[in-house]
């Protein structure tokens, strides 16, 4: 990073902003978060800048990594996190998301929500007086994307000019990953059956961003074309939460899209295998790949903690 870039990033402030999608953040803001994550990871758990701060965590979808990483992150930063689900709150009895936002704003310093429709988090943010963080919606998973790029930077030393290949459903993970790659100048390729391509509006937006940052966006039905010369190969489950009734059809549709030893032979020899987890071994990925020497899935999962700590510090400092 040049001195001028460092100077620009040092002047960036995210205080009080909502974090709903990667699209709403500038290149400089994303780079700030990645650099802050590297810094906080090196500081360990003695740094307590969020003493007295409280994060409300609303879960309308089950979670392992999102809950543990946000809760542990707030504790490590000196703050506190409060878990809520619809069964244990008035949301489950019909209280509106708007009313919930206004009530929680009286008690906490930030709200993280993991929910279904993206419209729901947008409504929450409109009525909240404190920052709202997207822990996952059906459209986007921006916290995962931050952790992915942090991992890529740690393993490769740089990210601009690398190639990220995603094979599988063009879902929320793919949407956020494609956007962050376009913004940071990372070439992005996705292979999926045509009916499972990413959101068309997001594709067009990413192509416009890529023209400015000097990278390429490739949308294809051919896994080999996507993976060819890739620096990182990424998978997610073919059937996400809430799509269980589609599972049988999806297994048929994604036949031939498994990331296995034959497919990754087309990537660079030092490629990284990435997965947001949980994984279905022998479905979207072979055990030989996910448990192999190129896999960084657990470092990637661990980096959810550090990326989100950076996000919370920058939103609340």
Active site residue 280: no
- Binding residues for carbamoyl phosphate are 63-66, 90, 114, 141-144, 276-277, 304
| Extended strands (E) in 176-215 | 187-191
In the set 114, 250, 275, 306, the catalytic residue is 114
- Binding residues for L-ornithine are 172, 236, 240-241
- Binding residues are 63-66, 90, 114, 141-144, 172, 236, 240-241, 276-277, 304
Active site residue 5: no
If 0-12 CB within 10 Å is exposed, 13-18 middle and 19+ buried, where does residue 106 land? exposed
Q: φ and ψ at 135, to 5 degrees?
A: -85, -15
In the set 206, 231, 276, 300, the catalytic residue is 276
In the set 18, 181, 236, 300, the catalytic residue is 236
The answer to whether residues 147 and 300 touch, using CB atoms and an 8 Å cutoff, is yes
Active site residue 141: yes
In the set 18, 76, 138, 144, the catalytic residue is 144
In the set 141, 250, 275, 306, the catalytic residue is 141
Q: 8-36: buried (b, 16+ CB within 10 Å) or exposed (e) per residue? A: bbeeeebeebbbbbbbebebebbbbbbbb
Active site residue 114: yes
Secondary structure of residue 161 in the 3-state scheme = coil
Residues 301, 1, 181, 60: what is their CA dihedral angle, to the nearest 10 degrees?
A: 40
Active site residue 276: yes
In the set 18, 250, 275, 304, the catalytic residue is 304
The answer to whether residues 241 and 62 touch, using CB atoms and an 8 Å cutoff, is yes
Catalytic annotation, residues:
114, 141, 144, 236, 276, 304
């Amino acid at each position: 990073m040049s001195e001028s870039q460092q100077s620009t990033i040092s002047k960036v402030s995210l205080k009080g902003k909502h974090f709903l999608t990667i699209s709403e953040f500038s290149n400089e803001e994303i780079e700030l978060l990645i650099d802050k994550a590297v810094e906080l990871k090196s500081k360990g758990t003695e740094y307590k800048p969020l003493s007295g701060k409280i994060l409300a965590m609303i879960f309308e979808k089950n979670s392992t990594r999102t809950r543990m990483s946000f809760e542990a992150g707030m504790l490590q930063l000196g703050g506190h996190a409060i878990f809520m689900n619809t069964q244990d709150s008035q949301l489950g009895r019909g209280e509106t998301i708007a009313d919930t936002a206004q009530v929680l704003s009286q008690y906490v310093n930030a709200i993280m929500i993991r929910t279904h429709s993206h419209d729901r988090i947008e409504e929450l943010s409109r009525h909240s007086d404190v920052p709202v963080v997207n822990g996952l919606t059906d459209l986007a998973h921006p916290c995962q994307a931050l952790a992915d790029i942090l991992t890529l930077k740690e393993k490769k030393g740089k990210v601009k000019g690398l190639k990220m290949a995603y094979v599988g459903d063009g879902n929320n993970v793919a949407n956020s990953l494609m956007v962050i790659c376009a913004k940071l100048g990372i070439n992005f390729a996705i292979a999926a059956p045509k009916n499972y391509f990413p959101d068309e509006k997001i594709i067009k937006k990413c192509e416009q961003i890529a023209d400015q940052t000097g990278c390429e966006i490739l949308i294809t039905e051919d896994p080999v074309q996507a993976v060819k010369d890739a620096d990182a190969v990424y998978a997610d489950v073919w059937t996400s939460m809430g799509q269980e009734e589609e599972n049988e059809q999806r297994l048929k549709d994604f036949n031939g899209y498994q990331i296995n030893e034959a497919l990754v032979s087309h990537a660079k020899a030092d490629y990284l295998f990435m997965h947001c987890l949980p994984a279905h071994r022998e479905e979207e990925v072979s055990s030989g790949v996910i448990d192999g020497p190129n896999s960084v899935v657990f470092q990637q999962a661990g980096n959810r903690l550090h990326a989100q700590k950076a996000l919370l510090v920058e939103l609340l400092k």
